[in-house]
């Protein structure tokens, strides 16, 4: 019985020992722990409630490219993209054919040139900046008979 009583006193003394020790000074380390504990409490989620839908971010206006390449060959024109952004547009004419070709840019429905490219021999290319407002533009080869044979294409500007 004495052994049990002694063992009980020792167990009680060991469990009570930190409470009877000298009080600790709270330094920076203790503050850091408290700040971390507060931060982790802020992130708790109540799973008993239905989750609120996440707000959808506003969709940015699409930035349209300001470059288009026009491939010319007998007897067609091919655009690298059908739609470009308004303002300064870099237009590239590439002669991929066997005959010389050129390019004229005009508003759709007219043959009023806004920009004209040189007549290029096969394998050559030329780049030029053209300022375009929103709308449709006709790109065509002005060499005799080429437009009539299909060397015309429409470019949209937005």
Q: What is the pLDDT of residue 13?
A: 65
Phi-psi region of 135 (alpha: psi -120 to 50; beta: other; left: phi over 0): left
The mean per-residue pLDDT over the stretch 122-149 comes to 97
Q: Of 52 and 105, which is predicted with more confidence?
A: 105
pLDDT reading at 75 higher than 80: yes
Q: To the nearest whole number, what is the mean pLDDT of the chain? A: 82
For 1-40, write each residue's pLDDT tens digit.
Answer: 677 776 766 666 666 655 545 555 555 555 555 555 455 5
The mean per-residue pLDDT over the stretch 68-91 comes to 96
pLDDT reading at 95 higher than 90: yes
Tally of helices (H runs) and strands (E runs) in the chain: 2, 9
156: nearest Cα among 141, 139, 136, 128: 136
pLDDT reading at 63 higher than 90: no
Predicted structure pTM score = 0.61
Can you give the residue ranges of every domain in the chain? 67-157
- Written as six digits, the tokens of 150 are 């299909």
Q: How confident is the model at residue 50 (pLDDT cuts 50, 70, 90)?
A: confident
Q: What is the pLDDT of residue 55?
A: 73
d(CA 49, CA 71): 60
Task: For domain 67-157, give the CATH superfamily.
Answer: Cupredoxins -  blue copper proteins (2.60.40.420)
């Amino acid at each position: 019985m004495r052994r049990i009583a002694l063992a009980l006193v020792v167990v009680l003394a060991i469990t009570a020992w930190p409470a009877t020790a000298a009080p600790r000074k709270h330094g920076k380390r203790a503050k850091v722990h408290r700040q971390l504990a507060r931060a982790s409490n802020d992130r708790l989620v109540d799973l008993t409630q239905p989750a609120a839908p996440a707000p959808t971010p506003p969709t940015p206006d699409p930035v349209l490219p300001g470059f288009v390449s026009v491939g010319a060959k007998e007897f067609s024109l091919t655009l690298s993209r059908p739609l470009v952004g308004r303002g300064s547009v870099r237009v590239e004419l590439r002669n991929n054919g066997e005959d010389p070709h050129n390019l004229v840019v005009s508003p759709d429905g007219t043959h009023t040139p806004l920009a004209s490219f040189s007549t290029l021999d096969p394998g050559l290319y030329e780049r030029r900046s053209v300022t375009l407002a929103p709308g449709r533009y006709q790109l065509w080869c002005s060499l005799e008979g080429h437009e009539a044979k299909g060397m015309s294409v429409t470019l949209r500007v937005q």
